[in-house]
Structure 1
Amino acid sequence: MMLVGRIESLARLSMLGVVMALAWPAAAWAEAASALRVEYHQWQVGKDGVRQELSYAEKLYRQENTLWVEREVPEAAQRDHDDHHHGGLGHKHADVVGAPLWIQRDDSGNVDVKLVDRYEQRLIDIAPPYYGNVGYDGHWVETWALVDPASLSSLEPSSVADGVETYQMQRGSQHITLVWNPERRYAVSIRSRDEHGLSGRTIEAREIADPEPAPWTTLKGYKNRDYSDLLD
């Protein structure tokens, strides 16, 4: 299997296999970490003995009903993009690979998903059928907190130390170790390894400083476009 695209949706959902609604008291939002740096790593050994690996990092900026997900792209890779960028819709899909994802949720739980194309100053609306194309799995809770805390409510932590809870669980052939920070509302780490040692995934998150200004406040003048325009 090719290790391409975003892996976090696979890591979050297949590790726990539970999707439930997020219902936190209002006070919890004030305590939740507002900015995270998340590192993803996935590996797999094929039938030919070749080990494939994929690693990358993203920044998550979180408010109660707003989430900004931005891939870290090395400066050299950005320069290479600029050297080959010719502008216009003719450049299409390649320009938005790894672009920031801006997700907003209303009081009814409906979400608005946009890709932010800084090169062309476009806000690209993503309809639900295309969520998977941009790495959003359609589950606000898991994207926001890296795991749905409700899925842990029926489990007993194997240990509690320094304010974080560690859970051990088995899902099929996968053994999972999950470290959850209940006060700051995010998964500190999720580690999964299959029983044969042929594949594994790791997610590690740490708190970082809030951006100044918040990135979604810097989009004045951006034009709205539809994702289907990129697929023509």
Structure 2
Amino acid sequence: MSFFSVEALTVRFITRRFIGDYDPTLEMIYRHVAVMDGDTVHFEILDTAGQEEDSLRLEEKIRWGDAFAVVYSVTDRCSFDEAVRLCFLVHHLHGGPKRGGAGGGEQPPIVIVANKKDLQYDRMVPTAEGEGLATALKLPFHEISTRDSYEEAVAVFGALYRELGRQGHFSPGSFKRRTPSKLLEKIPRMPASSAAAPAGRSLSFNSFRDYIPE
């Protein structure tokens, strides 16, 4: 299962730890094994670099993903504006026929995530504004604090996993066959968190780091 997400959110989900300092220009594909609703799930999560990049590189990363966590900071108005753009870009690039064959062009799962809700005195984006965006786009919305809560991080990836299941992506042949990508082959990979990972569903998730300054 392939995802895009912000590094603090991804590392919180994988290790249960919060990291305050990291290099926001580094990209990483994290591999992680977790149990979701009783199922063993093999996650691949692409954490995008927090910097501007050309449109072709960004589009290739978006096409790689099965599901998307679009993260912005409630303390940064620009990151919210970028989240809006990314949501529309994902819809545009994945607007073809439904992966897996039959059916119309159902969009891949996207969750809008507002991070840093613990920094209330620095807040620039009201909760209602994030909820309004999610309602307008008919997407789930989570307002979280990766600093304060591991459970909130798990809930984000759980929501994406369940939506993939609702769309029927767990049937044989439901996931798209990816062509080799020279761009993604250059991105370092963090091995699965469990050395003796049991067999289970292998899913790729994309998580967007929405250029959030730390």
TM (norm. structure 2) is 0.29
Larger C-alpha radius of gyration, 1 or 2? 1
- Larger strand percent: 1
TM (norm. structure 1) is 0.27
The answer to which structure, 1 or 2, has the higher relative contact order (CA under 8 A, 6+ apart) is 2
- Larger helix percent: 2
